[in-house]
Amino acid sequence: MQELAAWIRGTLSVYWVRNFLFDVWNAVETAEGMKLDGLSVEGGHKLEATWYDAIDPKVLSRALSSLQVDYARYVFVDLGSGKGRAVFIASGYPFRRVIGVEFAKELHNAALKNSNSWRGRKKCGSVEFVFGDALDFEFPSDPCVLHLYNPFGEGMLRRVLQKLQHSIDTQPRDVIIVYSNPRQDKVLLSVPNVQAISKSPYHVAYRLKPSFLSY
């Protein structure tokens, strides 16, 4: 038990160091968590959202590198983009476009501020931050990598996936969901047209297919 406790303390320490250094190296402020209480939000789903927390850069980088896709064909979308960290990490890959969607005005404004000071290497075509509710966001018609860092609960996730499925059925294309900190993974596993393509202790990645395809 003592060895396990020591391992946990060491793992957390390494994470906090990476968390802090990411901001220092890239001249941004994304590390500090923030609860949604008191924030101005777009839409009526505040109670279904989780609080803002910055993703471990190593976790997302490993997840994106595991996809084995031609990034230049894909648009990266981060739902619940907060202060922009996942967007900035994705911008280091040659995606066609990188988009962050955030419904809390203060977090969205922080992302815009960070975008102006960001000094990390950008390989993608463009970076965009959208202020709005995830259910109001129209998914790009291009092949897409959708990132979720546990941004909301089960009910909201189901509705987002239903909208995404409808979008894929209307305009068939390759869509990959990268789910970091997958606390509601059972929701994705319940989708009939989902196929697991990669997994780690900290993320799962699925390919979502049109509902009319047979297996």
Domain ranges of the chain: 2-208
| Torsion region of 88: left, alpha or beta (phi above 0 gives left; psi -120 to 50 gives alpha) | alpha
**Mean pLDDT, range 120-131, rounded to an integer:** 95
Q: Is the model more confident about 46 or about 96?
A: 96
Backbone angles phi, psi at 164, to 5 degrees: -65, -40
pLDDT mean across residues, the chain? 88
Task: Count CB atoms within 10 A of the CB of residue 11.
Answer: 10
What gap in Å lies between CA 172 and CA 168, rounded to an integer?
5
Q: Report the pLDDT value the prediction gives residue 13, as an integer from 0 to 100.
A: 66
Sheet with 97-102, strands from edge to edge, namely 127-131, 97-102, 75-79, 144-149, 175-180, 203-208, 194-200
- Specify the CATH number of the domain 2-208: 3.40.50.150
Q: Report the pLDDT value the prediction gives residue 56, as an integer from 0 to 100.
A: 93
Q: Report the pLDDT value the prediction gives residue 36, as an integer from 0 to 100.
A: 77
pLDDT tier for residue 213 given thresholds of 50, 70 and 90: low
**Mean pLDDT, range 152-175, rounded to an integer:** 94
Q: Report CA dihedral (96, 98, 181, 119) to the nearest 10 degrees.
A: 110
Digit-coded pLDDT (tens) for 57-74: 999 999 999 999 999 999
**Of 39, 130, 117, which Cα lies nearest the Cα of 81?**
130
Digit-coded pLDDT (tens) for 106-122: 999 999 999 999 999 89
Question: Is the predicted pLDDT of residue 41 greater than 80, yes or no?
Answer: no
Q: Is the model more confident about 189 or about 129?
A: 129
Question: Is the predicted pLDDT of residue 146 greater than 70, yes or no?
Answer: yes
**Mean pLDDT, range 171-176, rounded to an integer:** 96
Q: Report the pLDDT value the prediction gives residue 9, as an integer from 0 to 100.
A: 40
**Mean pLDDT, range 35-40, rounded to an integer:** 80
In three-state secondary structure terms, 100 is: strand
Is residue 48 within 8 Å of 152, Cβ to Cβ? yes
Q: Report the pLDDT value the prediction gives residue 44, as an integer from 0 to 100.
A: 65
Question: Is the predicted pLDDT of residue 177 greater than 60, yes or no?
Answer: yes
